C-alpha cells in the first residue's frame, strides 16, 4: 500500500495519475497548502523541503520518497512499467522527464505566479515566462510529430509528467494553437480513464475555478502561498 500526501496541483497530479495507470492501491492524504500544513514538523520528516507530493511505501518499510520526478521513477522501477528496461529506452524516458522537471514545470509555474497570482502585473516577467513556456510546447510538438508518445511508441512516466503541466496551459495564459501534434497528444492523454481519475485527486481543480467566485478564491489561496 502507498500513502500519498498531495494536493490538487500539476506536481501532485503526476503521482496520482501514475498510481492510477499502474493500478497500485494507495491512500490519499490531502495537504492544505494554504494553511501551510506542508511546513509542519511531521511533514518535514517526510520531505525536508516542505513540498508535495510525497509517498510512503508501506510495503518497503515505510520508505518515503519526495520530489515528483523521483517518485515517478521509483514507481516505474517498483512495478517494471511505464519505463523501458533497456538502457537507451530508459534514457529517452528520463530525458523527457527531466525536460519537464527543468523546463516545462518551472516556466509554467512562474507564468502562473506573474500572470495570475502577483497583485501587480509585471509585463516583462509575464512575457518572459509565457513565451518560454510556448517555446517548450513547440519542442514537445516537434517530438510528437515523430513519435506517438514522448519517449517512443509506448506511454511512459515522461508523458504523465509533461501532460499534468501542459494540460493547464490556459491557466498560465499560454496557447497551444498551431501545435497539432501536441494537441493530438493532449487529447489522447485526456481520454485515458487513469488520467481522468488521477487529476481528480484529491479534488477536481476545475470545480474550484469554474466561475469567477471560485477562480478568485483559488487565486487568493495561491497568493498566500506565494507570499509565504
CA 186 to chain centre: 14
Residue 210: what pLDDT?
47
Asked if 194 contacts 17 with a C-beta cutoff of 8 angstroms, the reply is yes
User: What whole-number distance in Å separates Cα of residue 165 and Cα of residue 105?
Assistant: 6
To 5 degrees, how large is the angle CA 174–CA 72–CA 218? 40
Task: Say how many Å lie between the first and final Cα of the chain, rounded.
Answer: 33
Helix (H, G, I), strand (E, B) or coil at 182: helix
- In this structure, is the dihedral angle defined by the CA atoms of residues 79, 84, 85 and 87, taken in order, positive or negative? negative
State the pTM of this model.
0.94
Residue 33: what pLDDT?
96
The per-residue pLDDT string of the chain (228 residues; one tens digit each, 9 = 90 and over) reads: 999 999 999 999 999 999 999 999 999 999 999 999 999 999 999 999 999 999 999 999 999 999 999 999 999 999 999 999 999 999 999 999 999 999 999 999 999 999 999 999 999 999 999 999 999 999 999 999 999 999 999 999 999 999 999 999 999 999 999 999 999 999 999 999 999 999 999 998 874 444 555 566 666 666 665 655
Provide the 8-state DSSP code for 93: H
Provide the 8-state DSSP code for 119: S
Grid coordinates in use for 57?
511505501
Cα radius of gyration rounded to whole Å, the chain: 17
- In this structure, is the dihedral angle defined by the CA atoms of residues 167, 112, 30 and 22, taken in order, positive or negative? positive
CB contact set of 178 (below 8 Å; sequence gap of 6+): none
Amino acid at each position: 500500500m502507498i500513502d500519498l500526501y498531495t494536493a490538487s496541483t500539476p506536481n501532485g497530479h503526476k503521482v496520482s495519475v501514475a498510481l492510477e495507470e499502474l493500478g497500485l492501491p494507495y491512500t490519499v492524504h490531502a495537504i492544505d497548502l494554504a494553511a501551510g500544513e506542508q511546513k509542519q514538523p511531521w511533514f518535514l520528516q517526510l520531505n525536508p523541503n516542505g513540498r508535495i507530493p510525497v509517498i510512503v511505501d508501506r510495503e518497503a518499510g515505510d520508505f518515503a520518497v519526495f520530489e515528483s520526478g523521483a517518485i515517478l521513477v521509483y514507481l516505474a522501477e517498483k512495478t517494471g512499467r511505464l519505463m523501458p528496461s533497456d538502457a537507451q529506452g530508459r534514457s529517452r524516458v528520463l530525458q523527457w522527464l527531466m525536460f519537464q522537471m527543468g523546463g516545462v514545470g518551472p516556466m509554467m509555474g512562474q507564468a502562473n505566479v506573474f500572470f495570475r497570482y502577483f497583485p501587480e502585473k509585471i509585463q516583462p516577467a509575464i512575457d518572459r515566462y509565457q513565451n518560454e513556456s510556448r517555446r517548450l510546447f513547440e519542442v514537445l510538438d516537434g517530438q510528437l510529430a515523430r513519435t506517438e508518445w514522448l519517449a517512443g511508441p509506448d506511454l511512459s512516466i515522461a508523458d504523465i509528467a509533461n501532460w499534468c503541466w501542459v494540460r493547464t496551459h490556459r491557466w498560465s495564459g499560454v496557447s497551444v494553437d498551431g501545435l497539432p501534434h501536441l494537441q493530438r497528444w493532449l487529447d489522447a492523454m485526456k481520454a485515458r480513464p487513469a488520467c481522468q481519475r488521477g487529476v481528480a485527486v484529491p479534488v477536481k481543480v476545475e470545480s474550484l475555478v469554474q466561475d469567477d467566485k471560485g477562480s478568485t478564491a483559488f487565486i487568493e489561496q495561491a497568493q498566500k502561498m506565494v507570499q509565504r
